[in-house]
Structure 1
Amino acid sequence: MSEGAGLRVRETDADVVIIGGGASGLSLAHALATSEGAGSCSYGSGKLSVALVEAPEGPLRPAERTWCFWEEAAGEFDDAVTASWGRLRVHGPDGHVSGGGLGRLRYKMIRSAGFEQLVHARLADLEHVRLLRATAHEVRATADAAEVRCTTADGRAAHVRGRIVYDSRPLPSLPPARTTLLQHFRGWFVRTRRPAFDPEVADLMDFRVPQPPHGLAFGYVLPLGPRDALVEYTRFSRAPLSRESYDRALRHYTTDVLRLGALEIRDAEQGVIPMTDARFPRHAGAGVFRIGAAGGATRPATGYTFSASRRQTGGIAAALRAGRSGAVPAPWSRRAMAMDAVMLRALDTGRVDGPRFFSTLFRRTPPEQLLRFLDGRTGLFEDLRIGFAVPMWPMLRTALELPFLPRRPAGASRTAIAQAPVTGASPP
């Protein structure tokens, strides 16, 4: 993979241009260019040429983030996995603990810097892949291609033309929706003086924290060793908190709930993830498509994005390999989107008690089955069985009213918050 940071105007053309070096952009580059992804793709008489446009070092480049997902024990990105767990727990507000083993699945954590390093290393010697360190400003459709207009770190213009462009940049505003909540959080990477964590067990939701008047709050613990862990405080609500409020909540959680004793805060992350039933258009113009969170890969009810982005990019690579258009597949089924819309509305209206809802769901459903459900990999019969574990009448009432609710644009302040760069992304 050659570097193109010093490109002159109109010097680089490629079959495929990818904007953004986050999870979705790197996953797509990997899937298109290597046999370890969705297979090496060819076009005409040779391989697809790929140009990857990544923001240079500076304020526009996102800080390091955390992504979590689950899959069977072995995975193609295991070399970048920071830690993984075979058991999950959920603590109810009354202290009741549910959960258990994940069977063949492992719950995995990847840090964005490690993922980028791994993908870059795998692409490094491929002549048909080129990396451009530049800020993309505009995408224009032309008669036979699309053109991405960029500025390099030293201020020079660089235009990259591609037969197809995949854009993973955040949207300037959220699409209209019936319900929009924010999943916002702050996490500490801590080290304790004494062993305090079970490295094989992750606490997915801990509701033993004070609950807000609207929405819900929970703790989240990912052990990295007997004395090390990522400990987060997360809320589902309509607006984020100040940093001081998050830190107070984390101090209470680590001291009064987890009783960790003296600890060292070694690093921190903070972020905001929109949870919305908005419809995200994946086709942005002739030969231009949106991928990742901008293409609807974030699951509305949970905030998980990484696995859906990989499904999207794998589908794109398979389509191009088969000679099809390369359109972006829907990351979630219509049934999954409908169920999430009902749950979001029920939470937002207060018809269901959030901590009780999730605690009951995990208490009545085996963790492995529930993770497959959250990943959209269960059938209709399994979905119905899981549905009987939640409050029926509030959910039914919400399902009946949804078709009559208008989709409204997000408020200006909420849109700005939701699309702002974050210092981490580690949904529950």
Structure 2
Amino acid sequence: MVWQRGGVAASPPVDVDLALVGGGGAASLVLAALDRHGVRGVRVAVLDPVRKHGQDRTWAFWGRPGGELEPLLSASWRRVEVTTPARRRVLDLAPLRYAMLRSAPVYARAAEAERRLGATRIDAAVTALADDGTRVLLRGPDGVPLARASWVLDSRPRPPRRPGRTSWLQHFRGWWLEAGAAAFDPDRAVLMDFRTPQPRRGVSFGYVLPVSDRYALVEYTEFSPAPLTDHGYDRALRGYVARLGLHPEALRVREVENGVIPMTDAPFARRPSPRVVCLGTAGGATRPSTGYTFAAMLRQAEQVARAVAAGRPPVPAPAYPRRHLWLDAVALRALDTGRLAGPDFFDRLFDRNPPQRVLRFLDGGTSPGEDLAVMRSSPLLPMTSAVLGDAVGRLRGRLRRPR
């Protein structure tokens, strides 16, 4: 099928088994997973007005070496730094490692998977989904029918089902810096550096992901209720670069990356209707307390592909255990009320736990026993107060909901 934006469909709506709405990271990982699991004979369509390509974002995640993403990685590190005003730590993550993946090879792999799957590409925005419980009709501009699908995987951003008690953002700007001489340690990434000026309400840190001794992504990140201005990000980055002991006149900014990710205890609808499934941030893949998303998107893609290959509904499991979402809500409340200082929290977290446990906790992969160990390492009074406040907030929310 051919669709031109602002034009007319050249043929009737295409009938497919699986429609992917949105062609970004979540959909790209699903396409690659479907191809990797040898899915054939399943009619697939991808609907997005923009064909993603090139370097428009960078993902970082941790895991064990090997796997399907290994050939696509830009860099990986077994050792990382975590620096607070109190101390600087160099952590050995073995058997895990921290890895960086840029978007261009992911999009290229997805395009290859589209061809191998024989997927239909529809270059149009989906404006409405009509789910009758058996099939879903996907409409485009002016209500034109684009496709009918047995299942829809929707990765477009959408608001939560209801507002959260705490609604923050992870917002950031990164500079890809090229130095004329050796300036970075390619064997070690800076995971979190809290020596940045801390906002009045929120947490800030810098980090460094070196590809070589002369090329690295240097980023400034805030967890706070609202983003900064362009001037604010650039001033913060200049200050952090100076803190690293680098001379701006010896550096060239090759690329700039920006991003805003929700950090909220608001619930997202994983299945807004019987045959529509949300992926990515809209499907709960973003960890509320940290903004980490990629590893959960990767899990979702793997679960969808396994289900399709086995002839089951393409519905992934919840991205994080319910107990982790509760812990996230408590941590966000403690930060939002000012009872908990971010640098102190992470200082205690890495001081009293093995780094592998901390990373698995941040990714939602720890056991209940490990969760208790993490909770014991948190400041007692601020977290207890936040637990009580969260319980009161939940009770009030239930009382206010219409019956």
Query: What's the TM-score once normalised by structure 2's chain length?
Result: 0.90
- Which residue of the partner structure matches residue 418 of structure 1? none
**Residue 53 (structure 1) aligned with residue 47 (structure 2):** yes
Please report how far the alpha carbon of residue 325 of structure 1 lies from its aligned counterpart in structure 2 after TM superposition.
Answer: 3.0
- Which residue of the partner structure matches residue 124 of structure 1? 115
On the 8 A contact 1:290/1:328 being kept in 2, the answer is no
Any residues of structure 2 matched to 1:7-406 within 5 Å, and which?
A: 8-32=10-34, 34=35, 36=36, 39-41=37-39, 47-56=41-50, 64-94=56-86, 96-127=87-118, 129-142=119-132, 144-151=134-141, 157=144, 159-172=146-159, 175-255=162-242, 257-261=243-247, 262-406=250-394
On the 8 A contact 1:29/1:52 being kept in 2, the answer is no
Q: CA RMSD in A?
A: 2.3
Please report how far the alpha carbon of residue 130 of structure 1 lies from its aligned counterpart in structure 2 after TM superposition.
Answer: 2.1
Distance 1:405 1:367 in 2: 32
Please report how far the alpha carbon of residue 186 of structure 1 lies from its aligned counterpart in structure 2 after TM superposition.
Answer: 0.7
Please report how far the alpha carbon of residue 179 of structure 1 lies from its aligned counterpart in structure 2 after TM superposition.
Answer: 0.9
1:393-424: CA deviations, max 9, x gaps? Answer: 2112211221220588xxxxxxxxxxxxxxxx
CA 1:279–1:55 in structure 2 vs 1: closer, same or farther (change >3 Å)?
same
Query: In the alignment, residue 65 of structure 2 is paired with which amino acid?
Result: A
Please report how far the alpha carbon of residue 67 of structure 1 lies from its aligned counterpart in structure 2 after TM superposition.
Answer: 1.2
Ranges in structure 1 where 5+ consecutive residues have no aligned partner: 409-428
Distance 1:23 1:4 in 2: 23
Distance 2:279 2:10 in 1: 27
Query: In the alignment, residue 233 of structure 1 is paired with which amino acid?
Result: Y
Identity of aligned residues (%): 42
Ranges in structure 2 where 5+ consecutive residues have no aligned partner: 398-403
Query: In the alignment, residue 83 of structure 2 is paired with which amino acid?
Result: H
Query: In the alignment, residue 206 of structure 2 is paired with which amino acid?
Result: G
Distance 2:220 2:144 in 1: 42
Aligned with 2:116: secondary structure?
A: coil
Please report how far the alpha carbon of residue 72 of structure 1 lies from its aligned counterpart in structure 2 after TM superposition.
Answer: 0.9
Please report how far the alpha carbon of residue 99 of structure 1 lies from its aligned counterpart in structure 2 after TM superposition.
Answer: 3.6
Please report how far the alpha carbon of residue 170 of structure 1 lies from its aligned counterpart in structure 2 after TM superposition.
Answer: 0.5
Please report how far the alpha carbon of residue 248 of structure 1 lies from its aligned counterpart in structure 2 after TM superposition.
Answer: 0.6
**Across the two proteins, how many residue pairs are aligned to each other?**
390
Distance 2:199 2:219 in 1: 16
Query: In the alignment, residue 44 of structure 2 is paired with which amino acid?
Result: V
1:327-348: CA deviations, max 9, x gaps? Answer: 3421100111111111111111
Distance 1:52 1:268 in 2: 28
On the 8 A contact 2:348/2:377 being kept in 1, the answer is yes
Distance 2:182 2:304 in 1: 45
CA 1:91–1:247 in structure 2 vs 1: closer, same or farther (change >3 Å)?
same
CA 1:252–1:145 in structure 2 vs 1: closer, same or farther (change >3 Å)?
same
CA 1:156–1:124 in structure 2 vs 1: closer, same or farther (change >3 Å)?
farther
CA 1:57–1:377 in structure 2 vs 1: closer, same or farther (change >3 Å)?
closer
1:359-409: CA deviations, max 9, x gaps? Answer: 22122222222111111111111111122221022112211221220588x
1:163-212: CA deviations, max 9, x gaps? Answer: 01111101056731111111111110001222121112111111111111
Aligned with 1:285: secondary structure?
A: coil
On the 8 A contact 2:19/2:152 being kept in 1, the answer is yes
Distance 2:139 2:294 in 1: 27
Q: Which has the higher contact order (CA 8 A, sep 6+)?
A: 1
Please report how far the alpha carbon of residue 22 of structure 1 lies from its aligned counterpart in structure 2 after TM superposition.
Answer: 1.3
Distance 1:143 1:293 in 2: 24
Query: In the alignment, residue 63 of structure 2 is paired with which amino acid?
Result: E
More deviation, 139-148/106-115: 139-148
CA 1:291–1:141 in structure 2 vs 1: closer, same or farther (change >3 Å)?
same
Please report how far the alpha carbon of residue 62 of structure 1 lies from its aligned counterpart in structure 2 after TM superposition.
Answer: 11
CA 1:8–1:329 in structure 2 vs 1: closer, same or farther (change >3 Å)?
farther
Distance 2:97 2:260 in 1: 25
On the 8 A contact 1:146/1:165 being kept in 2, the answer is yes
Distance 2:161 2:194 in 1: 29
Distance 2:184 2:129 in 1: 48
Please report how far the alpha carbon of residue 146 of structure 1 lies from its aligned counterpart in structure 2 after TM superposition.
Answer: 0.5
Distance 2:314 2:171 in 1: 33
Aligned with 1:278: secondary structure?
A: coil
On the 8 A contact 2:268/2:284 being kept in 1, the answer is yes
Distance 2:226 2:22 in 1: 27
CA 1:29–1:118 in structure 2 vs 1: closer, same or farther (change >3 Å)?
closer
Query: In the alignment, residue 134 of structure 1 is paired with which amino acid?
Result: A
